[in-house]
Amino acid sequence: MKDKPVIKKILVTGLLFSMFYVGYLHFKIIQHANMDVPQKADYMIILGARVKGTVPSLALQYRIDHAAKYLKENPDTIAIASGGKGPGEDISEAECIKRELMQYGIEESRIFLEDKSTDTYENIRFSKDLIPEKAENGLVVTNDFHIFRAKMIADNEELMIYGLPAKTPIQAVIKSYTREYMALSKYFMINVFR
């Protein structure tokens, strides 16, 4: 019987820690999604997301829309479209991004393709090779929940970039944030023990 209060204390402590931890992650996600975005960036890396055949998912479409708006307002900024071809995709995510940007009137000469990556780590690492040598100021374009982790991964690659957050589709908010809490936990574990 004496064990029950101890177990209860452990469970309550674990629950409180979990709530604090998720609250901290959520705060950092929101904080980084609401930082100022500098104008006249030298380059932007647009992170891929699911493509249905040749059509961008809503999450990817929001990224493309936001990137196109910035590119129109900043004609000297180049775009690096990043993302390989996954299951159910007839073209790479990078190719989809490029096609959609051109539909917006962005010149093909301003769009570079990184079409081999399979995750955010590779998006950043492979895109780094396409950044012009003299470029200094960069942006990463992704949905708001993803900016915090994308910037940390870029920092690991010695890229000091700002986030250009696109909104997250309302129907995907719970799933996206839940997955991001897990992805951030994995990121912290990898970087603590490496």
Q: Please give the tally of structural domains in the chain.
A: 1
At 32 the pLDDT is 94
pLDDT, tens digit (0-9, with 9 covering 90-100), for 96-114? 999 999 999 999 999 999 9
Range of the domain at 96: 31-193
pTM, full prediction: 0.90
Q: Match 């709530």 to its residue by tokens.
A: 19
* 3-state SS assignment for residue 31: helix
Model confidence at 3, in pLDDT bands (50, 70, 90)? low
Cβ–Cβ < 8 Å for 40, 75: no
In this predicted model, what pLDDT tens digit does every residue of 165-187 receive, in sequence order? 999 999 999 999 999 999 999 99
Sorted by sequence, the CB contacts under 8 Å of residue 168 that are 6+ apart come out as 59, 62, 143, 144, 145, 176, 177
pLDDT given at position 193: 63
Is the CB of residue 169 less than 8 Å from the CB of residue 145?
A: no
CATH of the domain at 138: 3.40.50.620
Contacting residues for 14 by C-beta, under 8 A, at least 6 apart: none
Per-residue confidence band for 10, with pLDDT thresholds at 50, 70 and 90? confident
* pLDDT for res 76: 96
Whether 4 is covered by a domain: the verdict is no
Structural domain contains residue 98: yes
Could you tell me if residue 14 is inside a domain? no
In a domain, 24, yes or no: no
The verdict on residue 26 lying in a domain is no
Q: Is 19 contained in some domain?
A: no
Residue 57 inside a domain? The answer is yes
Q: Is residue 39 part of a domain?
A: yes
Residue 37 has pLDDT above 70, yes or no: yes
